[in-house]
Structures are given as C-alpha cells and as structure tokens.
Amino acid sequence: MKYTNRIIAVIIGITLLSTTLPIGVFASVEEASIQINESTIADAPKDVAESSEIITIDGNEIEIYNSVTYIENPNFSVKSVILKNAAGVITNSIAANGTLYQVIVTKKVSDVIPAKMIAAVYDDIGKLVKMSVSHISGTGTINSDTTYTLNMQFNPIITEHKLKIMIWDDMDTLEPFATPYDSDIIMIDTVYNNTIETSGQQHSYEFTVPQDGNYAISAPTGTGISGSLYHSSNPTTPLATKSNMSSTNKLFAYMSRNEVYTIKLTSTTTGIYSFMLTASTDDSAITTLSLTTAATANIAYVGGYAYYKFTPTDTATYFIEASGNILPFGTLIDSSNETLAYEDNLEYANEISISHNLTSGQTYYIKIGSKARQIGTASIYIKKVKVTTSGTNSVSFTGKLGTASSKRVGISIYDQAGTLVNIWQVNTVSGGTFSYSLTLPLSGKGYQYIINQAANTIPVYGTFGSEMITNKIKTTVAANAPPAATVSRTFSRSNLAANTTFGADFTIKNNDSANSQEIFVDFILYNSSGEIVRSCGMGYIYAPNQQQVQHTEMQLPSNVSGHTLKIFIWQGASVYNSSHIPLYTSYSVTTSGTSTLSLPSEELDEESIGETEVTSSNELIDTEIDESIIETYEEKRDTYQAQTEGLNIVPAGFGQLDQIDMNYQVTYDGKNTGGVLKYGTNNVKVFFKNKTTSSVTFEPLVLWGEYDENGDLQTTYFQWCDPVTVAAKGQNGDVLTIDYKVKAPNGTDFACGYWAINSDYDYVCLNPIAMRVDGLYQGQATPLFFQEAGGGKYIFCNNREGIKRTDLADSNNPNGARLLMHEKGLGNGEYEMMISHNNDTSLDTNQQTGQHSSNGTGGFPIFVDAQFYDPYGTARIEIESAAYYIPTGKVDPYLGGPLSYACIPAYANYRKIQIVDLALNNPYNPQTVMKTKNSTTKYIHNFSESNSLWAGDVFVNNVYTSVPNGYVMYMVLKFRIVNSNGVEVNVAAFRDNGNGLNNRFSNYQAGGDPYVTAPFQKDYQYKGIADTLPLVESHVILAFDDTTQNNSSLPVTVFNAFEPGGRQVNWWKTQLNPQADSYNADFCAESDMIKIRYNDPTKRDAYGISYSGAKDGTWQFDVFHSDTYQFPANRNSSNNPNYILPRPTIQGSSRGSSNVNEAANLANYGVVTRYYYRIRNYGVVDKSIKINLETRSNNVIIARYITSNPQDQNDPSNIIFAKYKGEINPPLPAANDTVFWVDAFAGYETYFCIDIILPTGNAGGMKNEVVVTN
C-alpha cells in the first residue's frame, strides 16, 4: 500500500509501554478506554519545527503527521467523528469534560479485513494522555458504514489538546489502513459535525487540499446553512459563497495544494449541522469559455488559479491565449484530468498561447496561473483553425479568429525547413470566419503556418503534413494592435509583361498616433501552379503618424503567362519577422490588369476610396495608367540616378560634409552574415549617427544594382526617404536606425549602398556604406555583434557566491533552512547548467546590513548539489555530460602545476576533449567521471521511479565530495528533459556531517514555502535561467591587401550602450558588461552577454517603502538592468532594485562607465563566445593572421577549421586544438598571447572558427584582436 506525506515531518518521540495495555483490549469488539500512566511517556522535543510525530511501541516506529497523510487505496475511511461538549452539545473540537461520542467507519474493500481503530488524545507538547482501541471485524459489503459508540471522556483541562483516530492492521505491524483523522485538520471525504447554538453564530474552519483541483463543500444536515470560502491572504473578501447549503446545494471552488483556506459557516436557525469537503467532478459551477469571446481570468491570491471549461463544436486546432501583466502560464486538461498541453512561460512574457487539437463535443479544462505569483487579471481568448488535406495536394483552411466580418486575415505557409511557400490575404465573412484553399505537395512534406487578422496582436501558429518541422518559424506578437494604414500608390505599369520592370511607389501613413509601427511591402510573384517564382520587398519603421514613401521594384521574367503578382502591406519587418497583421488591401496584378481585395466602403482606408483600381477581388481591370504619372515617376527616378551616376559602390570618401557616421548590420534568416549580403531576403539595419553638436537634417538614400563582367555597376535602382532629423551628439535621438529589406536575386553579383544626403544633394557622411553578395571590401570594418544560439536553456547558479551558514538547507542554518536556487516549470528541451560557489561557513552575514563577520566556528565542510524534482512523476532526464571539481591545495592535483580556479580539468571532462597549454604541452585529458544508467553513454533517470534526482549521485566514486571551508566548487551538467509537466530544479548546500549524503532532503521543501527559500543575495554574482544554451555566435568577415602594414589590427565595428550607432575599433572586449566596466567600456561588444532571469517573489520586498511604481518578482540580470539591491538598514525609501539603466556616458581618462556602480557585474561564465572568421587577402603577397587575447584569466580556446559551406559553419566539429591560456594573478600585468595563427594566402579566403570560454573563477573582460603579419 503506497502512501505519501504532504509535508516533511520533524520527529516527536512518544513511547507507549505495551505492558500498560490489557490483553483483552485486542480481542474486544467493544470500545475500551485506557488511562496511560503519564510517567511512562517520553515528552516530545519542543525546539524543533512542526512536521511529524513518531510513537515507539516495543521498538516499532509509527509515523503520525501533523498535516494529513493521505493513504492511497485505503481499506477503510473515517467517514465521520461526533464530538460533544460537557453539556452534551455536538461540537467540532475537543471540549473540557466532553466526549468522543461516535466514529463512523466506511469499509472501502469487498474482502474481509479485520483491523484496529485507535483513538488517541495528545496534549500541547505531544504527550499521549488517553487512548481507546476498538476492534474492526472487517465484515460487511464494500462502502458499508459501521458506527462505533465510544463515549471516551476528555480531561477537564484540554488546552491545545487534539484527537487522532487511526485504523491499523494490527498493533504489532502498524500498517495504516486509512487516512488518519486529526481534530486540528479538515480533511476531504470526512463528515464534520457542529452545533449552531445561537442564531447567526459563525464557525470557521481552516484547511488545505491534497492536490490542485475542483472541490465541493456540502452541508448534508442542518437548516439554512450559509458558507463563505476565503484564502488566508485575504480573510475579508470571499472566493465563493453559497446559501441554504445541503447535500446537493454545494459551494464549489478551484483550490491549490499548499494553500490555506477558511470556510465560514453560519445559520440563523439553531441546531446540529454537518459539512464535508470533497473533490468534485461536477463542473456545473465552472465558468464556460466560448470561441472568440473574451473572458477575464482573475487570480485572487498568490499561488491561485483561474479555472475554466470549454467544449468545442468542431474538431480542429484551438488556440487558447492568455495575456496580462501577471505573466500568465497555463495548462490544458481533458475530462480524465490528463494534461494535454502546458505552457510554462519560462520567458516571463505578458502573453502565452496554448494550442492543441480538440475533439468536437468533448469538454476540456483550462487552468491559468501567474508566473510572477501576482494577483491580478489576464485576458483569455480562444481561436480556431482547421486544416483539411485531401489527395496529393489539396489543402484548405477554415477558421475563426474574431467575430467581425470584413476583417483582413494574413496567412503565411512555410515548409518544414522554414522556407516561405505561400502567402495570402483574405477577408472574414459573416460571424468572423475565414477560408482559404490552395494546392501544395503533401507526400513526405511537413508545413507550418502563421495566421493573424486585423486588430489582433497574437498570431496563431500550427503545423500540418507528415514530416517533422526542422526549423520552426518564430511568431512575433505585436506590442499593440496597429490601425489600418493610409495608403496611396503609383504603379509604373498597369499589368505584367515579360522582361519588364514592375515598380511601385507606396505613400504609407502610420495612423497610430502613439506608437511606432514597422511596415513592410512585399511583392510575391506566383506562376500558374501557385508556386512562388520571385519575391522582393522592403520594410521601414514609421514613427507615430509618420507618412513615408516606399519604393519597390521587381524585374519580371521572360515568361509571365498565367503569372500573378501579389502585393501585401503588413505590419512587421518581413514575412519571417512579422505579427502577420494586414494593414491594407492586397493587390493582384496579372497580364490583364490590376485588382485589389476589396472591403465594404466603411472598411476602406480614406485615400483608397474612389480609386479606379479598387474593385472586387475576382475582377480585373484593363485601365491604362495615366502617361503623366509614368513620366513623373521616371523623371524623379532619372534625377536621382543622375546624382549617383558614376559613383563607385566601394566606400571611398565621397562625403563633402563630415556630419554623420554610418554603420550597419546584416542578418539573413535571422542570422548575422558578417556584413555581407546573401541571395534572398536580407535584413539590413543602417545606423545614422550625428557627429556634431547640432541637429542634422538629411535624406537617407539607398542605391542597388548588379556588377557586370567588367566590374561595372549596372541596372541601378534607388529608394529615397523623406527628410529626417537627428539630435545633437550625446542627446537622446542622436542615432537614427532604419531597417531595410534587401532581396538579392540568385546568380547575380548584387550590391547596394547607403548614403545620407541633404536638400542640396550634398553628402553629409564622409564614408557611406556599401555591401554586396558574399563580397568583401578591403579595410571594411565588419559589424561585430553576437546572437544567442537558442536551442535550449542555460541554468546558472553563482549566488550567493560565498555560502554562509545562513544559506544552508539543513538545521545548521540558524535562520531556518533555505535553498541557493529554486525554479519551477522546466519543460521539455535541452539544458546546460553551471554551479559555482565558495564555502564561507566560517562567516555569518548580517541580513540588515550585508556585513560579514566571523562566527567563531572555523567553518565546516559542505556538500553543494543540484536536485531535479518532478512532482508529477512523468518526466525523464537524460544527462549527457557532467563534471565536478574542487581546486584544493597550492598545486593542481592533476599535474602539480600552479593552481587555477578556472577548473580546466573539469571543463575537459565536461566537453570530453583534451585541453593543452599555449605551447600545446601539459595536457588535461578527459576522464570518465559520470556513471551511466539505462544507456551506454548517458545517465537516464525516469521520475516515475523516483520523484527526485540529485546531480551528485550521477558521478563515479570519489568524484563528488564535500567542499572544505575556504574552498570553491564547480559543477556543470548537460541534459535533456522529455515528457515534462514541469520539473523543478533546486540548488542546495548541506553540512557534511560525516555520514555521506544522508543530510539531503528528499523533496524540494527545504523549509516553508519553496517560493521564498531561495532569494537573490546581493553580492555582485548572479543566478537564473537564460533562454538559450550557453553559446553566442558572431560572423566576422575581414579583408586586407598589400597596403595593410605589418602587425596591423583589422577593424571591426562594435555596438554598445555608449555607441548604439556603432564605433569602429581595432580591438574589442568580451565577457563583460560594458555598463559595469571601469576601463575602456566603449570598446565592449555588449551583445555577447546573455540575459538571465530569476523568479524570486522576495524581490518585491527589496523595493523602497515609498516606491510607487509597479513591482514584480523577477530579477533581470543583463546589460540593460541595474543591480541596485540595498540591504534593509541602508535602503532608500524610493529604491528600485532592478530598473532599466539610463544611457551611460564615458567617465575620465580610464574611459569607464557612468553606471559602473549600478550595473550588474556580469562575466558570461560558462558561455561559449564563438567567432566564425572569414578573412580575404586581396593582395599578391602571402600573409599570416594572428588571433590575440589579452587577459589575466585562464580562458579555454577551441579552434576549428571550417569551409565556405554554410553547413560547416553551423556544425563546426573539426577541432584543431583546445588550449587553456593560464592564470595570472595581480600585480603581474595581463598577458597578450597569440592563441591562434593561420596563413592567409594571396588571392584567397581563410575560414576558421574560434571559441573562447571563461569557465569559472576568473575575471571577465577579454581583449580581442585580429592582426595581419608578414
């Protein structure tokens, strides 16, 4: 028989001497009362926390819990207990001189199973003062009741006494046959009795529930009973009420385990009544949600949920959206109480979407909670999409995202690799439904779709087909619902014609008066089979109410028969980065003419009403465009071409006015290209930075074209923008950023350039920007920026770095046990984890001032470990790699060399690679330190076998040991979680008491509420979870020729808080937050720093008492937020511990940050900083390339050869070597070492990949440099 205890117990010892029990008691069916000789009873310890009691009878131990021990599949249940006071009035508690009158027991099995029922009374210190033992024959049918009349009298003094009733198999073996009754606790499925002695008398009962769920409170007997349910956090506002309660008229509520509730019962009629708490399957009181009907989820108390039901009328995919500042998370449950989908919101976003295929007519349940553990509301909304496929290529969509007709709907379809295969726009019809049909090859294919409609912010994402999605398209939630844009346009021609150019000028106005909106125009050319032949487009960020001209052109192919050019105007940057909200009608152009997808006149944008091109969606027009329009268009174009005629695209200093600096970044398919263009759609971000002390007004201009075989730029096109003004240098608004979409045709030597031109056509930038497809320009400063690799999550724990006694998770903590780290809700996916701490148990910390002082103990060894705990028992964890290390003594225990706190041997074990010194000597060879389980290479643990797994248990003998006082430890793990409903991770420290690991707790509760046992501690080190694996990447493309001098550093452009528009430098720093840097802060890359989030409800207590802004329970440790926690004794009344930092300035000759005392002291420990280098030697003389790294820290450097094949760059596995740089302690200066060099042959490009890692224990701030030598 399996039974689980809900709360960890502390032992209370009570010895019962069996010699005081008459032998006849065990044979009698009747009640027997025994007065125990109190001198034979050992008192309970008074100085331990409440948890459990242990009674010893002849050496046997019996666990009796102060909270409820719920027995699974019991043989009996205590259905009801009737207590009376001294006057014979039925009551619900022990009364002086009262009696235990009757106990009603329900038989839960069909077999005849005899048992013993023990009724025991304990005093306030846990001493047994009276006991009654009754024999249960075990006869009768299943679910039959037997009443036992005991009339056991209570003592005259019963202060804090309590009654327990237990049913055991026998007094010798003591196997529990029923969930025990406890007079101090209200349990489910038990009838409680009491008496209303005066009209209006109110009784209050506190209780908890064993599991999250829907519960009912009934009153089987009594007249006019009214009930009100409260949560302990708000004793005045009821969660639910019910009048005239009975066995059928019940109070229903959804309740959460570990939360304390109070039910208050009253009546104006005196007399006996009873009540009972039961788990309920009656969902009649649960709020019903309807498709596309908004509802409000109310989280009434911290830890509470909003609970709903939904019954679909059609089998389809449904999208349940929840949005609000409470940071919602949600669960979808079927009628069998099985979890179908769970959105844990580890990103702490304001909105989530739960999608699942639901069956018509079946009822489903939706549970919404707050990730931030806040009270408040969230908006709930349900959408539907149904995809039907038939035959080999027939696909149809039907759906309902809203209720209004004539709303524009944007539909984008991608294949399994994430390539766009179809984009379309339709209008909703009556009731808000939409439909769309198309043909796609279905055999062996997988597709993904994103759909949204006007006025919605959250798009829906779904899949169909037989193949797995290998590259999921990201859905982008609009910050706000953009209003329809005002659009007028001029087309260069009225129809499609072979070998011509179809151009358009769209004058677009952002009608959002409060928010900037990114708007893109997309040209998609379809052939007669509905396949995309060509596409091009451009995006632009519009300020509130800004009007801007966007010019787009497409060169048409030699055959356009049956072709259709579709033109879309949507919110977003591109179809790969968009909310998919259509902002205007779509256009269709064929060889016959132009048409639009029209809406009723009241839905049309103002400037489109009355235009001759606006017709019904299935109607084409042949009206010729006015020749004067074409002439105006061509004249304007020729004017601009004349200004740019003969200009070399290579930046060579055309500017006449040195007012603007220009820098740029290029991404393709969301990835950094290193500053070059790729065939297809490129996203080009151009920065215009004012260099002067006055505002500057200019026109951004872009020109593009193709180089011919002679190297001349041909077929040039241009796009101009309205004049813009940037503020004076150093002021807000001194950098203008414009995002462009550049579509480079396949097979061309395509190039584009960007200029800044004033009204007199003078260039106001001395060095405009130029780029080409996979083309490099000598001396070009590559835009250096890093991107998080994603692919999983990184768990990092380095806070509190020095573990004091007050951080321990055992009884050695004078303030009560606590955790170092606690996070719930780890979902499926890949993870890496790093833990690094010092043993400072010889010190104590003043929690009011933060001051450390010796505690006089000299400290003691501790274990530091990570626990994975699955309360649901469904998940599996697959540990692929693990390492553990304690640098001890004055020399390295592996080689006898100088000690390094970087723990290089452990990193070699973890990465399973050999790591050598800079001279390629003194190797650390990887050792096998991890056990395997259920696999030949991994340690695989199924939580169905045990809810808990400690990381320390996965290591082979003698690897995982305790940490001596004054030493440091380092642990790293790489693992995967599957089938998760929310795994919890805890990091805890325990004293090594000499008995191995038996001091660890068995589940996650190291004390009270686990949400408040692992707070962030102010010590300039951090913990939390990053929404990426520990890898950041950058593509660095550089070029030089024979004019490049020996030992010259090749330039790059860094972007940081000091230089948001970019700054060209010859070296740069990584692994450091520039806002916290005291030296050359504006040389930092910044984008290499990952963002860490830590959920900590105690953060709300860190705000000043007069702080009036919104408070939250999530720490954000990144380059943007402050670390301004103040200890209570020194806390400013208006303190905000984690605000967004203001734009910093450079201070003093050391060029430090003005925010150095407020910013987070981040160093990217354990994060791989990866460079994909591509360097071109344009000269005729062979050169060498050196990669230099200057630092005192013991970095790991891994070098790999790669090729120009993009696939090789995505999977760099050809390792040349892995080195450690060596640790240098002050006052010795940092060493500038060449960590890699390679030949750069004349006329060729060189490719290689460099990883730089700061494992642990050393300072961040690596100086990087690429040097050309002879």
CB 1240 within 8 A of CB 1051: no
Angle at 101 between CA 97 and CA 103, to 5 degrees: 140
Distance, CA of 565 to CA of 406 (rounded, Å): 23
Specify the CATH number of the domain 633-775: 2.60.40.1470
Token output for 146: 């037997």
Distance, CA of 34 to CA of 28 (rounded, Å): 13
Specify the CATH number of the domain 287-383: 2.60.120.380
CB 1115 within 8 A of CB 1085: no
Q: Give the residue among 999, 997, 991, 1000 at the shortest CA–CA distance from 965.
A: 991
Q: Give the residue among 801, 783, 878, 795 at the shortest CA–CA distance from 832.
A: 795
Specify the residue for token string 């079927």: 334
Strand segments (E) across 222-269: 225-231, 240-245, 251-255, 261-266
Same fold, 192-279 and 287-383: yes
Please count the other Cβ atoms lying within 10 Å of the Cβ belonging to residue 770. 21
Sign for the CA dihedral angle at 295, 297, 300, 304 comes to positive
Query: How distant, in Å, are the alpha carbons of 869, 960, 1136 from that of 836?
Result: 21, 14, 28
> How much is the pLDDT for 616?
25
Distance, CA of 243 to CA of 680 (rounded, Å): 68
CB 320 within 8 A of CB 328: no
> How much is the pLDDT for 1211?
53
> How much is the pLDDT for 1216?
92
> How much is the pLDDT for 777?
64
Q: What is the 3-state secondary structure (H, E, C) of 758-781?
A: CCCCCECCCCCEEEEECECCCCCC
CA end-to-end span of the chain, whole Å? 79
Query: Residue 912: left if φ>0, alpha if ψ -120 to 50, beta else—which one?
Result: left
CB 1241 within 8 A of CB 1232: no
Token output for 1044: 């490049």
Q: Which 3 state secondary structure label does DSSP give 812? A: coil
> How much is the pLDDT for 1112?
80
Q: Find all residues with CB under 8 Å of 410, minimum gap 6, and list them.
A: 423, 424, 425, 451, 452, 453, 568, 570, 580, 581, 582
Distance, CA of 105 to CA of 103 (rounded, Å): 6
Token output for 1090: 């990952």
Distance, CA of 1035 to CA of 1032 (rounded, Å): 11
> How much is the pLDDT for 237?
92
Task: Annotate 695-730 with b (16+ C-beta within 10 A) or e (fewer).
Answer: ebebbbbbbbbbbeeeeebeebbbbbbeebebeebe
Q: Which 3 state secondary structure label does DSSP give 384? A: strand
Specify the residue for token string 């009733």: 165
Query: Residue 791: left if φ>0, alpha if ψ -120 to 50, beta else—which one?
Result: left
Distance, CA of 503 to CA of 552 (rounded, Å): 6
> How much is the pLDDT for 1213?
63
Q: Find all residues with CB under 8 Å of 742, minimum gap 6, and list them.
A: 538, 677, 681, 682, 683, 684, 704, 752
Architecture of the domain defined by 192-279: Sandwich (2.60)
- The domain 3-76+94-185 having CATH identifier 2.70.50: the answer here is yes
Task: Annotate 965-984 with b (16+ C-beta within 10 A) or e (fewer).
Answer: bebbbbbbbbbbbeebbbbb
CB 684 within 8 A of CB 740: yes
In the chain (1270 residues long), the average pLDDT of successive 10-residue segments reads: 26 24 26 29 28 30 44 88 93 92 94 93 85 92 94 89 90 83 88 94 91 93 96 91 96 89 95 94 91 93 91 97 91 90 80 94 94 87 96 95 93 88 93 94 92 91 88 81 86 89 87 88 89 78 84 84 92 82 89 65 31 26 28 34 34 62 92 90 91 91 80 68 86 87 84 83 81 74 93 96 92 87 89 96 88 86 95 93 82 49 93 92 93 96 94 95 93 95 91 82 53 81 96 95 93 95 96 95 96 89 88 90 92 93 93 95 96 93 96 94 60 80 82 94 93 93 96
Q: What is the DSSP letter of 775?
A: B
Q: β-pairing, 76-84 with 191-196?
A: parallel
Q: Give the residue among 1054, 1065, 1060 at the shortest CA–CA distance from 1120.
A: 1060
Q: What is the DSSP letter of 560?
A: -
Please count the other Cβ atoms lying within 10 Å of the Cβ belonging to residue 1255. 28
Hey, where are the domains in the chain? 3-76+94-185, 192-279, 287-383, 391-625, 633-775, 793-913+925-1026
Distance, CA of 366 to CA of 377 (rounded, Å): 15
> How much is the pLDDT for 1205?
59
> How much is the pLDDT for 1238?
95
Residue 336 buriedness (CB in 10 A; 0-12 / 13-18 / 19+): exposed
Query: How distant, in Å, are the alpha carbons of 550, 679, 1174 from that of 744?
Result: 18, 5, 21
**Global pTM exceeds 0.75:** no
Q: Where are the alpha helices (DSSP H) in 518-607?
A: none
CB 1144 within 8 A of CB 1154: yes
Token output for 1015: 């707070």
Residue 526 main-chain phi, psi, to 5 deg: -105, 145
Residue 424 main-chain phi, psi, to 5 deg: -150, 165
Q: How many residues does the chain have?
A: 1270
CB 1118 within 8 A of CB 1094: no
> How much is the pLDDT for 45?
28
Please count the other Cβ atoms lying within 10 Å of the Cβ belonging to residue 334. 15
CB 1229 within 8 A of CB 1205: no
Which contacts qualify for 466-470: CB closer than 8 Å, 24 or more apart?
466/442, 467/416, 468/416, 469/416, 470/416, 470/417, 470/418
Please count the other Cβ atoms lying within 10 Å of the Cβ belonging to residue 625. 17
Token output for 34: 């025994």
